[in-house]
Structure 1
């Protein structure tokens, strides 16, 4: 019986083998020999970073035409070239990407508990929500290190992952296993155009900065002596660090957590220090650019917004051309803002850095006169960025406001040193509370005039930077707060003075709302010249079509071109806008921010046909990042930046009022930075200066 069963099984097996052998001959498909050849080019990591389950599958996809020769993340351009040769195709540009850690917390974040289970970030996040109090921070178990096939990640002494960019192959495994998003894969385009998200690890200063500059990183790089790295970090968000380092009112400093303990970090001063380092060295730091993409973009206006948009577009590979109506690009940075605030040589250096990237310019080209939107489209431009600025100063709208001697602020500043060279013995009245108004006040005093200023608010409500107001007062300007002009007096069409009256708030302490005229306070100031600096608006004349109708929807409140708040796309789909052409009078860093935001939208529009809405955008300060109490160990005095004397200021337009600082001074000021994350901070910041006589522990100060 047993023998019979064995024989039957043997015969069945023999029959099945015969059937399978016959089927294999019938169904056999000859494998394309190119699959083995392509697979032989791969390094054999089988990392799966290409999206296919192993190198064999990836090779099959390439041969089938479903994948490109440059698909392998573990290989470099040489491997892609070898595969392309096998396939008889050419290698196209593939932007390199690497992993990066966005978390700054590490052991400095407060621990919630002591976890003793499986040492895996995913398990801890699943069971307890993570070890650290910040839900966005690194958990620190090193799961990313364990899954990396290329030994590109290690944990530092603080338990934070450190990526070796040279070894990283952007396979994405580390990002896949990170449960908090602390590890991310990104390339240059993503880095340059990334908009802050509420699930990023953002310090308050980074949230408040319109350009979203990574303040904590560049300060730490500067402290460590990595000046090149610090500059490159700044230029990921701001291509005009020299100008911004001199002109920005630094909203970031107002929200600095250090203010809870003593005084905010001098972020603005450190920004300028890093930018000055490059210019003073005489050699420009190399900026990487992607190869030309073939996509052409027209930039109308060569001011801060236009230059910034062109910079970001060129770095990610597109081909921008700037059309500028004046002889030189630079907008108000070149020829309007006085040199004692922003020297021409500084502007020239900054602009040349951008032009050297391959940005073309055409000067003497006025939009609406020398070219139109249809002309640009016919020339092959796929998108247009309107950055024409806000050069029009509205009239005062009072009696005799066109009399001889009434001048707008822009015309005055442009002609300082040319038409206006000596105002000794002249009485000048400036109307307005803006930075431009303070520029006019300070310039007129330098020319020898006796200057008064009518300001329709109190000092706290002024639009001008507090430092600019302070410097105007130091020069001897009579700043008349809460006053408004009512009429201009004139004889034979020439200015003789200005009537004004006082204003008051309903609640002087709160100073909210619009102040009202105080009856019985009418007065007159003698004047030889009245300079209007109340506002600046976009000149609508050049934004009309042949029939005299507006080309775009306009904002009645700002006088600027209306646009989508996120994409800056106008009512004409392929036309975008930014800077003061969109917002009206604004600060320089906002124009820089608009240039980058527009570059992002233009990039997606011309390459994908649609502009994706940013996910979880950080539009306002994140509430949980505003701390009421902190423990900081060391009190370090804020740096005092040198300035030339008041008497010296009255004699020069060329020398900057504020000077530079030395490296050791910058490093000590940088040590005051708490390296903040979303909720964490470094309470021991500045410990390396604990022995300095001007540094004291906060505990000792509180005892006093």
Structure 2
């Protein structure tokens, strides 16, 4: 009995073994040998930063095509090359990326209420969107710290995450965990391409700046004595900081929160200080550029828009060539802004820094005469930026304006920019109220003329910068307000001798919001003149777009005779042609042209590399209303510093030497300390709230 039972058991065992042997043959799955090779190539730390279950999981993901050679976030380029060698992939070195924090609020952002037991940012965001008054800022509970597998993030004393760049591996776990989008992974190229969005931490000044420069960041760097850092921050958006530090009318200061306390921070003064510091020390820092893409782009026009576009194209790895009709680059910066405001040696220094990135230049080349877009296309250019400016002058629309002795403001200032001394006699009347009119008047004063500026509205309606209007008056320019020209009186030789004008009164507001000037009947008066300078507006010269005999142009124009382009991508009706600066917007600010150049470079980059131009869904188009509050409490009044004058008296009106200087170091630190380091709703107070760390340079936290 026992023996038979043993035989049965042995039979069952042999039967099972046979079945297993057959099954193993049928079901056996041979492991891909590359998995083992990849495990050997990976560092074996099993940190999980890749998102897979250790290095074995990462190896399987690579073999299955779910991840690439860069699967390992800790191994770096050498590990990626080793993985690529196993898989037969070419591995190209990418730009380094780091986690980047956008929010500046932290403990400064006021609390709406306290949660009971919601100690995770994600949970708190689900409960009534979080406890802070700021709808976009950091909630401060450190979820990003908890999920970082590399201990690369800590919560700093201001209640904000602080990233250790040496430890960060750009694994994106913190980005995925943050419910507010406060953290992002950014490379140099990513920062250059980023479009400002409504949910970014944008102080009012940054919103208002046409170039979207991160003003609070560069002021903070300058206040700490990190002038090179401040310059680097500005250059992410503006390569013409030396120029803008001198000529920008500072729209950013119009919305500065400090203005609700006493007066706006001298933002442009600070920009000029750090720009001058770089130039005076002859520093040429290495400006990073992405790897060469091989794409050729033609930039037509070497003014601020063209220089900006070429700068950012080169930094994005492309090969731009600037085609300029004038003898030298600069456009209206060189031929429209007088030396006393922008010394040409300073302009040359800044332009050279841009060209040193590796940008080719062809001067004396007029678009539509010496070359066309079609001809450049045959030479291998794949995209085109039209930055031709607005060089054509507006008409006075009066009898005699074609007489000898009548000049346009553009014509007059260009001749001076070319080093010529115009023969304009002694009595000069300038017609207009913008910056070109003021520049023409102040330049005429320096040529020894008796100058009167004629404007059809009052001083309050003049579009020129207030400082320029005051400066012209100080130098002897006489103003005739509420007066408009009606006729140029000429002699028998066709030379202007008088300008007939009529008195005006202000009526109802026009489309611009300014009261419309209305002639006063019977109030005509004649002024003796040697020269009349008309400075009543400029527009692009569009004839260069038409080839000989052509009546139609592929590129569309607006009813204002500017190039018609998409306002966000700056792409024209011809997909590979883009436009920016005054040719697109009409006469505008230098910083507006700079901003347009960067936006166009972004669009061209995406068109050439992906065939598609993405636009951020939540792009900031207008000022964000809830950030514009006027109740700024907890701040003591502090007097705004003033720029020194480099020359005065007779020297100021008989030479073209620069008038304004830069801040001294002591005043720089006083002015940077006035900045409130604003976020969307938060700002630094002189008397900090409880537990708020907000000390500024030159201030003490009590």
The TM-score bracket by the shorter chain reads over 0.9
Of 564, 579, 586, which residue of structure 2 is paired with 1:577? 579
Report what 1:395 is aligned to.
395
Report what 1:244 is aligned to.
244
Report what 2:674 is aligned to.
672
Contact 1:206 / 1:213 at 8 angstroms: preserved in 2?
A: yes
C-alpha deviation, 1:648, in angstroms: 2.4
Write the distance in 2 (CA, Å) between the matches of 1:651 and 1:81.
Answer: 67
Q: Secondary structure at the match of 2:392?
A: coil
Of 636, 639, 663, which residue of structure 2 is paired with 1:637? 639
C-alpha deviation, 1:14, in angstroms: 8.6
Report what 2:544 is aligned to.
542
Change (3 A) 1:140 1:44: farther
Write the distance in 2 (CA, Å) between the matches of 1:28 and 1:457.
Answer: 92
Contact 2:241 / 2:275 at 8 angstroms: preserved in 1?
A: yes
RMSD: 2.7
Contact 2:509 / 2:515 at 8 angstroms: preserved in 1?
A: no
Write the distance in 2 (CA, Å) between the matches of 1:125 and 1:6.
Answer: 69
Change (3 A) 1:552 1:405: farther
Contact 1:552 / 1:562 at 8 angstroms: preserved in 2?
A: no
Q: Deviations over 1:573-606 (max 9, x none)?
A: 1100000111111110000010011111111111
C-alpha deviation, 1:453, in angstroms: 1.1
Of the structure 1 ranges 683-692 and 335-344, higher mean CA displacement relative to structure 2 is found in 683-692
Query: Superposed, which structure 2 residues align to 1:205-604 within 5 Å?
Result: 205-416=205-416, 421=421, 426-491=426-491, 492-506=493-507, 512-604=514-606
Q: Secondary structure at the match of 2:538?
A: coil
Write the distance in 1 (CA, Å) between the matches of 2:678 and 2:6.
Answer: 77
Write the distance in 2 (CA, Å) between the matches of 1:597 and 1:543.
Answer: 22
Contact 2:677 / 2:684 at 8 angstroms: preserved in 1?
A: yes
Q: Secondary structure at the match of 1:682?
A: coil
Change (3 A) 1:555 1:16: farther
Contact 1:425 / 1:450 at 8 angstroms: preserved in 2?
A: no
Write the distance in 1 (CA, Å) between the matches of 2:362 and 2:565.
Answer: 26
Contact 2:405 / 2:530 at 8 angstroms: preserved in 1?
A: yes
Report what 1:701 is aligned to.
none
C-alpha deviation, 1:60, in angstroms: 3.7
Report what 2:37 is aligned to.
37
Change (3 A) 1:177 1:394: same
Contact 1:75 / 1:169 at 8 angstroms: preserved in 2?
A: no
C-alpha deviation, 1:363, in angstroms: 1.7
Change (3 A) 1:67 1:493: same
Q: Deviations over 1:510-546 (max 9, x none)?
A: 9734222122221111110111111111111111134
Contact 1:103 / 1:138 at 8 angstroms: preserved in 2?
A: yes
Report what 1:661 is aligned to.
663
Report what 2:691 is aligned to.
none
Q: Secondary structure at the match of 2:385?
A: strand
Q: Secondary structure at the match of 1:448?
A: coil
Report what 2:621 is aligned to.
619
Report what 1:103 is aligned to.
103
Report what 1:647 is aligned to.
650
Contact 1:145 / 1:155 at 8 angstroms: preserved in 2?
A: yes
Contact 2:546 / 2:552 at 8 angstroms: preserved in 1?
A: yes
Q: Deviations over 1:474-519 (max 9, x none)?
A: 1111122222111111112101011111222226999734222122
Q: Secondary structure at the match of 1:671?
A: helix
Change (3 A) 1:521 1:140: same
Contact 2:386 / 2:579 at 8 angstroms: preserved in 1?
A: yes
Change (3 A) 1:591 1:396: same
Q: Secondary structure at the match of 2:233?
A: helix
Write the distance in 2 (CA, Å) between the matches of 1:426 and 1:630.
Answer: 52
Of the structure 1 ranges 122-131 and 79-88, higher mean CA displacement relative to structure 2 is found in 79-88
Contact 1:208 / 1:255 at 8 angstroms: preserved in 2?
A: yes
Contact 2:669 / 2:697 at 8 angstroms: preserved in 1?
A: no
Of the structure 1 ranges 435-444 and 374-383, higher mean CA displacement relative to structure 2 is found in 374-383
**Number of aligned residue pairs:** 689
Change (3 A) 1:588 1:21: farther
Q: Secondary structure at the match of 2:231?
A: helix
C-alpha deviation, 1:45, in angstroms: 5.1
| 2:192 equivalent to 1:199 | no
Q: Secondary structure at the match of 2:100?
A: strand
Question: Where in structure 1 are there 5+ consecutive unaligned residues?
Answer: 698-704
Write the distance in 2 (CA, Å) between the matches of 1:17 and 1:543.
Answer: 87
Question: Where in structure 2 are there 5+ consecutive unaligned residues?
Answer: 687-693
Write the distance in 1 (CA, Å) between the matches of 2:230 and 2:556.
Answer: 40
